């Protein structure tokens, strides 16, 4: 009985008696979830437009952040470094399309997936070779990102919010809104959606697949840069943290591989669920549970909805 009480009642009693802690945990979950969501967003962009499951997205985040910091440390002014990093991400998108994707056109999905593994390895080696493997500090002040915390006396306790996290939330929302407008209103956005629907139909109305792929990889690179800045500001910039990027995978599952709102909602669910689980239930089974909670949640979820929350219905024919 005692164990049942600890599992089913005690956590909720704790939530009720200390609402400030609950809100604090919830907020941390939201912030963590946002980062997952941003990484997942990069995945979705590329998957939608080219059907490539881009494993390198997580590494692109680190690579973008590393390039930015590396350039700044080399003496380039902060905003020039930002511009140069964007240029580097464009060059990367162009090179990936030309060197990796074009020769592998019409290959099975798993081969393209494997190719992005090769890209991952290359980026890790290249990034460390050029900028060194030691962890670096993100240049938050130079980019005019706010610092410090806001503390509220609320709910019978203290809730403290990092200003940086709030800024991250605002920037992420703006970016997602921008992408939504880009997808629905512009000519290129419409072309992107056409490619996502059907490659051959898009080709037949004169849309250049090569061009679209460069654009979509560049967009994913920009998302990676923003994610990298936000994430680098919370911890050091180094390749050692690429395991975090793997957390974007269950987010994708929850949201569905092809849905942008799915990526956002999935990210928030995973982020919040993981923090609450670890805080209230984790100690019962020894802690450290956030390494697998997201994956198990996604697995359980998949059993009921194999295509994710917002994914397109999978129709199978012989």
- Cβ–Cβ < 8 Å for 26, 272: yes
Total of chain residues touching another protein, rule CB under 8 A: 51
Q: Hey, how many other C-beta atoms are within 10 angstroms of the C-beta on 197?
A: 10
For the CB of residue 133, give the shortest distance to another protein in the complex, in Å.
6
For residue 176, give the nearest of 42, 1, 4 by alpha carbon. 42
Q: Which among 155-163, 260-268, 273-281, 297-305 is the span making contact with another protein, rule CB under 8 A?
A: 297-305
Residue 153: strand pairing partners? 158
Cα distance between residue 67 and residue 64, in whole Å: 5
Residue 298 makes contact with another protein by CB under 8 A: yes
String of contacts with another protein for each residue 46-75, x by CB under 8 A? -------x----------------------
For the CB of residue 285, give the shortest distance to another protein in the complex, in Å.
7
- Cβ–Cβ < 8 Å for 213, 49: yes
The beta-carbon contacts of 92-99 under 8 Å, at least 24 apart in sequence, are: 92/60, 92/63, 92/217, 92/221, 93/214, 93/215, 93/217, 93/218, 93/220, 93/221, 94/214, 94/218, 96/217, 97/210, 97/213, 97/214, 97/217
String of contacts with another protein for each residue 273-292, x by CB under 8 A? ------------xxxxx-xx
For the CB of residue 109, give the shortest distance to another protein in the complex, in Å.
7
- Cβ–Cβ < 8 Å for 42, 92: no
For the CB of residue 284, give the shortest distance to another protein in the complex, in Å.
12
Is the CB of 82 or the CB of 89 nearer to another protein?
89
Cα distance between residue 76 and residue 23, in whole Å: 41
Among 77, 133, 146, 178, binds another protein (CB under 8 A): 133
For the CB of residue 120, give the shortest distance to another protein in the complex, in Å.
7
Residue 90 in 3-state DSSP? helix
Among 64, 249, 260, 264, binds another protein (CB under 8 A): 249
Cα distance between residue 109 and residue 159, in whole Å: 46
String of contacts with another protein for each residue 91-120, x by CB under 8 A? --------xx--xx--xxxxx-xxx-xxxx
Q: Which residues bind another protein (CB under 8 A)?
A: 53, 99-100, 103-104, 107-111, 113-115, 117-126, 128-129, 133, 243, 246, 249-250, 252-253, 257, 285-289, 291-292, 295-296, 298-299, 302-303, 306, 308, 316-318
């Amino acid at each position: 009985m005692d164990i049942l009480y600890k599992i089913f009642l005690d956590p909720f009693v704790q939530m009720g008696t200390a609402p400030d802690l609950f809100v604090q945990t919830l907020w941390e979950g939201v912030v963590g979830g946002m980062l997952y969501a941003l990484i997942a967003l990069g995945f979705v962009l590329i998957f939608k437009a080219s059907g490539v499951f881009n494993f390198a997205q997580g590494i692109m985040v680190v690579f973008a952040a590393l390039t930015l910091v590396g350039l700044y440390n080399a003496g380039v002014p902060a905003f020039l470094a930002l511009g140069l990093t964007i240029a580097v991400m464009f060059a990367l998108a162009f090179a990936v399309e030309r060197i990796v994707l074009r020769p592998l056109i019409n290959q099975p999905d798993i081969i393209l997936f494997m190719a992005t593994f090769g890209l991952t390895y290359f980026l890790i080696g290249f990034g460390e070779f050029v900028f060194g493997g030691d962890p670096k500090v993100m240049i938050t002040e130079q980019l005019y990102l706010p610092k410090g915390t806001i503390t509220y006396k609320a709910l019978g306790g203290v809730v403290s919010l990092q200003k940086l996290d709030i800024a991250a939330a605002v920037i992420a929302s703006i970016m997602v809104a921008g992408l939504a407008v880009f997808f629905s209103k512009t000519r290129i956005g419409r072309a992107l959606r056409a490619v996502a629907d059907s490659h051959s139909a898009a080709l037949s109305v004169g849309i250049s697949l090569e061009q679209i792929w460069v654009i979509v990889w560049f967009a994913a690179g920009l998302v990676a840069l923003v994610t990298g800045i936000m994430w680098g500001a919370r911890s050091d910039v180094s390749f050692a943290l690429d395991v975090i990027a793997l957390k974007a995978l269950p987010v994708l599952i929850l949201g569905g591989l092809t849905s942008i709102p799915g990526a956002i909602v999935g990210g928030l669910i995973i982020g919040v669920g993981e923090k609450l689980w670890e805080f209230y239930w984790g100690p019962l089974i020894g802690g450290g549970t956030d390494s697998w909670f997201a994956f198990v949640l996604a697995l359980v979820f998949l059993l009921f909805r194999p295509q994710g929350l917002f994914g397109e219905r999978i129709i199978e024919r012989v």
